[in-house]
Amino acid sequence: MRDEGVFRLDGKVAAVVGAGSGIGEAVAEACARQGARVACLDADLARARAAADLIATRGDAAEAGELDLRDGKAVEAALGGLRARHGRLDIAVCTPSINVRKPILAYSDDELDRVLSLNLKGNFYLLRAAGRIMTAQGAGAIVLFSSIRSRVVEPGQSVYASTKAGIVQLVRTAAAEFGPRGVRVNAVAPGIVDTPLTAPIKADEKWHAAYAAKSVFGRWARPEEIAAPTVFLVSDAASYVTGTVLFVDGGWTAADGRFSPPGM
């Protein structure tokens, strides 16, 4: 007998950081559709409000807030405020990242600091703030966003790839530390996704086609195709899943090359 209720998030309070666009917006909408009350948090308050308003027009509960993930105190305040208003925080999802595509020898100190500050330190701040609340209440689910670049790289991806690999280790450590107190921590590792962040790649016909060819489906992912697996990880359907990395990459990291031997 199927129990679709395990995928529902009714009565849960969810914080989605990066909800103003792309994958974060899709995750916020997906959580709301499953019954969660969603706080759409983003560095761009106008975009966060637009995402929350769209959710509200569909009859689901949502609110918006401005959050600079690089500010540890602001992260603590934002999540603490949610707990104060709603009595708990059940779900925290963190999607933002930046990438400066440059060879190692051309990287500046400022560029290094920019990428590390958001991708690694920002995720740490979110993980720590959510972990403090959830371990105290004895329940919760956290999802950080890694990438296929935690496993495979290309020229120009040194710092970005390092941060995405670092997120995996943060998730594994947090899973070990928080698990005894009822909190699950996992990562989603997307491949190439059609979002505003990847618009410059999509605008280059050869670059767009090369990335599409890396998927066994021959196409890019849509944001909602990343959101659905994320909702699975924060739902009770994944109650025994923690410390794992879910690759949602269309087979990018599974298929080694594109040559099919004779007879295949």
Which residues are designated catalytic?
Answer: 160
The CA distance from 199 to 51, in Å, is: 20
| Three-state secondary structure call for residue 56 | helix
Helix, strand, or coil (residue 85): helix
Residue 264, token pair as written in the block: 């295949």
Q: Which residues make Cβ contacts (< 8 Å) with residue 34, sequence separation at least 6?
A: 7, 8, 9, 10, 231, 235
Backbone angles phi, psi at 68, to 5 degrees: -95, 110
Sequence-distant (6+) residues with CB within 8 A of 223 are: 22, 23, 25, 26, 193, 194, 195
CA distances (Å), 206 to each of 191, 194, 216, 259, in order?
A: 17, 15, 18, 20
Residue with tokens 């196409």: 219
Phi-psi region of 234 (alpha: psi -120 to 50; beta: other; left: phi over 0): alpha
